[in-house]
Amino acid sequence: MPRTFTLSEHYPASVEQVYAAFADERYWRARLADSGADAVKLESMVVGSDGGVEIATTQSIHRHKLPALAAQFHHGHLDVARRETWQPVRDGRTRAQVTGKIVGAPAKLSGDASLVSATGGSELRLTATVQVDIPLVGGKIERFIGGQLAELMTAEQRFTVAWLQQGGAGPTP
């Protein structure tokens, strides 16, 4: 049965500043390089004429680095394909559709994100549903993925804050 997670992160920067990073290819290349994945690829990045942004990435983790739970059900390296489709900023806010999947496995994620003004900056809110279609243990894996998703959001927030504080240079990978 799919599980839904609601997560949020605060940014000490405006919606427009954070969105500007999301619309910068250098940001995505640096963020991927900083991700800790063994192999990364910016599959595509399209900035629409309306200012919307669509990003597709793939991150690979070698099998020997996988947690035991993941390695038990997935043979070989783990490839995670992600897609984020951000609408242009309007009235101090933006929204996105977010999807993810583990390539070659019955695991997927879909959700909605919003970046809104908040005291002292902005807040990224994500409501995501994780579905793992493996009988008996799918729920356990879904909970595990939800925990990993929370850690990932925090790591990406830290990277983005550092990127913005360093004027778009970001942390050195």
pLDDT digits (tens, 9 = 90+) for 47-89: 999 999 999 999 988 877 776 777 677 677 888 999 999 999 9
Nearest to 160 by CA among 58, 14, 47: 14
Report pTM: 0.89
The model's confidence at residue 37, banded by pLDDT at 50, 70 and 90, is confident
Is the torsion defined by CA of 117, 21, 83, 4 positive or negative?
Answer: negative
- Integer Cα distance of 11 and 73 in angstroms: 36
Q: Average per-residue pLDDT in the chain?
A: 90
- The residues facing 41 across adjacent strands are 58
Cα 65 to its chain centre, rounded Å, is 20
**What are the distances in angstroms from CA 120 to CA 8, 12, 37?**
15, 6, 32
**H/E element, 159:** helix 138-165
For the chain, which domains are there? Answer: 3-163 (3.30.530.20)
pLDDT at residue 112 greater than cutoff 90: yes
